[in-house]
Amino acid sequence: MTRGTRLLGAALLCAALGLTGCSSGADGAATGDGADEAPPVDFKTPPAVSATPTVSGVVELELPLEAYAWTDAEIRTRQQGEDLLAAACMRSYGFDLEPRPLYRGDKALRDARRYGVSDPATASRFGYHMDPAARGPKPPEENYTPAESLVLFGPQEGRPAARKQNGKEIPKGGCWAKSLRDLASEGPEVHPDKEEFADQLGGFTFQESQKDPRVKKAFRAWAACMKERGYSYANPMAAVEDRRFTESATASAEEIRVAEADVACKREHNVIGIWYAVEVAYQERAVEENQELLDTLKQRKEAILRAASRAGASN
């Protein structure tokens, strides 16, 4: 019996937005057996910087690891393929679930703020907050029946449940897991802990670059500049993380003034140019020391995108 049409809902939001935290701890660090592994790159000796650009914004900047990570557009293509395959699988069990609306994703927004706020106009309007209009729509609410959940996600570990629906065996992990396996079937296998390795490695280089002597020197110049304007912060991230601002839904007049000073001091001392140049060097070393795995992930991504495009063309 076919039920009324439902949406593939919020439980599947991870794939829609490409959020690595869906399979990780609250702080974004990977959990599981690999959590205590040694750092994936040796930065005991800081890498040499080839050139330091003068930077007034972030939108035009590209980092080496971006070639291996998922873009918002690629995430949308993957999501559409996942949803179409999962929906087709669900129909074979008598359930009619529509694919999710395509989300714009927020990876590009987050990347544009990688080194904090950098645009004077944005700082004057929103302070350290994101422009609400730039975000995609909220995900649909989950509203699955027990039978739908069983077929979509499979029997939950530790809970007794039927292994069949309408006399048909439920695939391992349900239709959702089957759609992921089908999309990735033509690409090389990768351990689940490594699926988001490029993004995780980018997070590592971001943190390590802030410890670099060249970046710390730029931070000190920025902090002195901010001090002259009446604000006391050790580095740009300290301003972004000011609880007066993070705990407010919108930017206060004070937050806007701080953000405007932040941008002015970054430009005066080319903080973003220096920081970016250093992180490029860090990422180049990260790529060099993890080239084999990154190439495998890129091949896997390309295979998934080809399969997702075929799924879209056939539906």
Going by pLDDT thresholds of 50, 70 and 90, the confidence category of residue 2 is very low
Q: What is the mean pLDDT of the chain?
A: 85
Give the structural domain span for 149: 6-17+52-313
Give 192-217 pLDDT, tens digit per residue.
899 999 999 999 999 999 999 999 99
Q: What is the pLDDT of residue 160?
A: 58
Give domain status of residue 243, yes or no.
yes
Give domain status of residue 37, yes or no.
no
22 phi, psi to nearest 5 deg: -65, -25
Higher pLDDT: 181 or 4? It is 181
Higher pLDDT: 39 or 153? It is 153
Residue 77 confidence (pLDDT) above 70: yes
The winner for highest mean pLDDT among 6-10, 57-61, 240-244, 310-314 is 240-244
Give 115-141 pLDDT, tens digit per residue.
999 999 999 999 999 988 777 666 667
Higher pLDDT: 44 or 56? It is 44
CB-based contacts of 78, cutoff 8 Å, min separation 6: 15, 70, 183, 304, 305, 308
Give domain status of residue 1, yes or no.
no
CB-based contacts of 224, cutoff 8 Å, min separation 6: none
Q: What is the pLDDT of residue 33?
A: 41
Higher pLDDT: 152 or 165? It is 152
7 phi, psi to nearest 5 deg: -95, 140
Question: What does the DSSP 8-state code read for residue 159?
Answer: S
The number of distinct structural domains making up the chain is: 1
Query: Per-residue DSSP letters for 81-130?
Result: HHHHHHHHHHHTTT--EEPPPPP--SHHHHHHTTTS---HHHHHHHTTSP
Give domain status of residue 31, yes or no.
no
Query: Which of 164, 189, 8 has the alpha carbon at shortest distance from 85?
Result: 8
Q: What is the pLDDT of residue 136?
A: 64
User: How many other C-beta atoms lie within 10 A of the C-beta of residue 133?
Assistant: 5
Going from the C-alpha of 261 to that of each of 97, 125, 209, 223, 254, the distances in angstroms are 50, 13, 23, 11, 11
Give 213-262 pLDDT, tens digit per residue.
999 999 999 999 999 999 999 999 999 999 999 999 999 999 999 999 99
The one-letter amino acid code at 283 reads Q
Give domain status of residue 46, yes or no.
no
Give domain status of residue 285, yes or no.
yes
CA 88 to chain centre: 28
Going by pLDDT thresholds of 50, 70 and 90, the confidence category of residue 159 is low
Mean pLDDT across the stretch 51-76?
89
Give domain status of residue 47, yes or no.
no
Going by pLDDT thresholds of 50, 70 and 90, the confidence category of residue 109 is confident
User: How many other C-beta atoms lie within 10 A of the C-beta of residue 189?
Assistant: 8
Mean pLDDT across the stretch 2-9?
43
Provide, rounded to the nearest whole percent, the portion of the chain with pLDDT above 70: 82
Q: What is the pTM of this model?
A: 0.81
Give domain status of residue 291, yes or no.
yes
Going by pLDDT thresholds of 50, 70 and 90, the confidence category of residue 158 is low
Cα-Cα-Cα-Cα dihedral of 275, 277, 278, 282, to 10°?
130
| Burial of residue 264, with CB atoms counted within 10 A of its CB: 0-12 exposed, 13-18 middle, 19 or more buried | middle
Give 251-309 pLDDT, tens digit per residue.
999 999 999 999 999 999 999 999 999 999 999 999 999 999 999 999 999 999 999 99
Whether residue 263 contacts residue 123, with contact meaning beta carbons closer than 8 Å, is answered with: yes
